[in-house]
Amino acid sequence: MKAGSARPERKFRRKIRYVNPRLQGGAALVFSGMIVAGGVLFGSLVYRDVGKALWAAAMRGHYMFETPYEIVRNALLWHLAGLSATVACLSAGVFFFLLRAIHRGIGRVTGVLRGSEEGELSTPTDAGGLTEFSRFGEVVDAARGDTLQRIVAIREEAASLAASGLPPEAFRPRWDELKRKVREIAP
Amino acid sequence: MSVPSAGNMAPPTSRGFRIRFVLRLFLAFAAGAVVLFAIFHFVLSRPFTGDYAGVFHALRNLSVFLRPVIATSVLVYVLLMCGATGALCVYGLHKVAGPLYRLERVMEEFRAGSPTRTVSFREGDQIQALVQAFNAWVGNLRQERVRWIASMEKAERECLQGEEACRARMEEALRQLVADLSRFR
């Protein structure tokens, strides 16, 4: 009898891609809006020009064409090329606008975090660009603010304890409490 | 202290990421145009049959049915393209949104006082400068904290030499701590 083979247990973790509805969903909505506008414009122009071409061919009365496609080919191809070029160029423009906004927002937050490394914890991030980055900047500010609050509390307690001249039995518990507070910084 | 502006820094997204996104966008629009062309070609490529009257009526009928044909084909195009660009935004911008999301989660842990791990990168992740800046800030704070604790514990060890020396050393450690912390504002 074949011994039960020890299969390596595989972990199936579903990777969630849609993690930021404001950024990902917002960009998708802007692109979709452009596509809908381009499609409507294309439809109305094609309806006007192709309809006119078919009507003119019907009225002319002598047909040199084997299929309706041959009648409308030029108008159709031009409109298709126009639609593709317009929507593609507008989308590229929107994408680069989005990148610029990401660059501004992320650049500002990165700068603030680099400043925090040198001890600057109170300057607000004020991340411009997209609303998402303003919100993210507020999260960063909150984390920096909490850290500063802890540091200020420790500094005041340390200064007060150093100058207190308390007897050892009162000094030691405050010293231990201060040590515990210092341990809470960036755990 | 001045905060470096975004203009002084390297772009948070790589050139490869930008080019790939735009190329995929163009590819999607080209595919959409081909689909639209195929629909129109299929509808309009039926050969004319019959005599003059038959062809005349075929053209007149086509003019009448043109509106629903165009509406349907544009609807197909719009749905296809919205789906494609939506997927592109979700998958492409995940390289920006993913690290941002992970960073936000780590920052929540940091605020809650839980042990904070460094934010990791996945293959192709963008905005690495931001994540590195956060990791550097937390890493720096952690190093400082270890140094402060070490200084306080060193003062405690002096207690073995007597109460006087112990107290003097502790007060010195406290003054040093105040001086170190005064650079934070």
The reported pTM is: 0.81
Using CA atoms, how far residue A145 sits from A123, B34, B100, B182, in Å, is: 10, 55, 20, 15
Q: Which residues of A touch B55 (CB under 8 A)?
A: 63
Q: Which residues of A touch B33 (CB under 8 A)?
A: 80-81, 83-84
CA distance A147 to chain B (A): 8
Q: Quick count: other Cβ atoms within 10 Å of Cβ B36?
A: 26
Name the helix (H) or strand (E) containing B163: helix B163-181
The whole-angstrom separation of Cα B22 and Cα B163 is 72
CA distance B77 to chain A (A): 8
The whole-angstrom separation of Cα B19 and Cα B90 is 17
**Who has greater pLDDT, B60 or A148?**
A148
**Who has greater pLDDT, B122 or B3?**
B122
Candidates A40, A69, A179; nearest CB to B44: A69
For residue B33, which amino acid is it?
A: A
Using CA atoms, how far residue B20 sits from B9, B16, B17, B83, in Å, is: 22, 6, 5, 18
In chain A, the residue whose alpha carbon lies closest to the alpha carbon of B1 is A120
* Model confidence at A99: pLDDT above 50: yes
Provide DSSP, A71-113.
HHHHHHHHHHHHHHHHHHHHHHHHHHHHHHHHHHHHHHHHHHH
CA distance A155 to chain B (A): 5
Average pLDDT, chain A: 86
**Who has greater pLDDT, A64 or A58?**
A58
Give φ, ψ of B158 to 5 degrees.
-65, -20
* Model confidence at A3: pLDDT above 50: no
The whole-angstrom separation of Cα B178 and Cα B185 is 13
Stretch among A69-83, A154-168, B45-59 having the lowest mean pLDDT: B45-59
Is the ipTM reported for this complex over the cut 0.90?
no
pLDDT at residue B1, as a whole number? 46
Please list, in sequence order, all residues whose beta carbon lies within 8 angstroms of the beta carbon of residue B124, skipping any fewer than 6 positions away: B17, B95
**A168 — contact with chain B (CB < 8 Å)?**
yes
